[in-house]
Amino acid sequence: MTHDPPPPKKAGIAALLAVAIIGTMVVAIFIGFNFYHADTQRERQSGQVDQRDMPKTPTDLQVAPPRQ
């Protein structure tokens, strides 16, 4: 019975390195989203809204425009 030769050692190291890089990217994205969420949550709780998120027209809030 013939035995298959084991895979090269460098192939295992390359696979481990790829998994480590992908894992680091996932963790970095997760942490980045948490920082972004904390920042926007702080803005909402303080009552200050980013200018880009402010309504552009009276119908943005789905309310009738104020009477003058």
Residues in the chain: 68
Q: Which residues contact 59 (CB under 8 A, 6 or more apart)?
A: 65
Identify the burial level of 12 via C-beta atoms within 10 angstroms of its C-beta, where 0-12 means exposed, 13-18 middle and 19 or more buried: exposed
Run of H or E residues at 45: helix 9-46
Q: Please tell me the distance from the alpha carbon of residue 20 to that of residue 1, in angstroms, as a whole number.
A: 37
More confident: 53 or 16: 16
Token pair of 13 as six digits: 């190291």
41: confidence class by pLDDT, cuts 50, 70, 90: confident
pLDDT for 28 equals 96
